[in-house]
Structure 1
Amino acid sequence: MSDCGCEKARKDLEEYLRHEVCKTEEADIRAHLEECPGCRDEALVSRTLTEVLARSCKEAAPEQLREIVLARLRAEHTVAQ
């Protein structure tokens, strides 16, 4: 296992966080993150952003708002034709 360096760690960060890198690269990036505060902070920001976005995607708009938006889209579509 070797320190892959900041450039490699940051380039492959998203794949690393999604567990889409091979075991060797995963170990190298993990080791780098343990030793590099800057890359570790970047990983934390990426992980937090991903979690917040995932939570927000689970939220649904109120049915009344959905109906209003769909009605406006249909009206715009009719005018455009």
Structure 2
Amino acid sequence: MTDCGCEKARKDLEEYLRNEMCATEHADIREHLEHCPACRDEALVATTLTDVLARACKESAPETLRDQVMATLRAAQASHH
């Protein structure tokens, strides 16, 4: 087993999660995560956050909410001129 260590695993976590590293480094970090609960938890948080943000970016506000926001912005702009 080659243990890349917590510092390296955390430093390279984003690249690991996006599969932006060579296969050897990827395997080293994957192995470290399998044996280190703290780093594994950090990877889980990062993955969950990424998934939530991706879903949020795909969702759109209901038409009525968008209309209300735009009306509020127009009113605020009109009151400042």
TM-score, normalised on structure 2?
A: 0.83
1:50 aligns with 2:61: no
Which residues of structure 2 form unaligned runs of 5+?
none
Give, as a single letter, the amino acid of the residue that structure 2 aligns with 1:51.
Answer: D
Which residues of structure 1 form unaligned runs of 5+?
none
Q: After the TM superposition, which residues 1-81 of structure 1 pair with which residues of structure 2 at under 5 Å, given as runs?
A: 2-81=2-81
Percent identical among aligned pairs is 70
Instruction: Give 1:4 deviation, angstroms.
Output: 0.9
**How many equivalent pairs are there?**
81
CA distance in 2, matches of 1:54, 1:17: 14
CA distance in 2, matches of 1:24, 1:52: 29
Instruction: Give 1:43 deviation, angstroms.
Output: 0.8
SS at the partner of 1:72?
Answer: helix
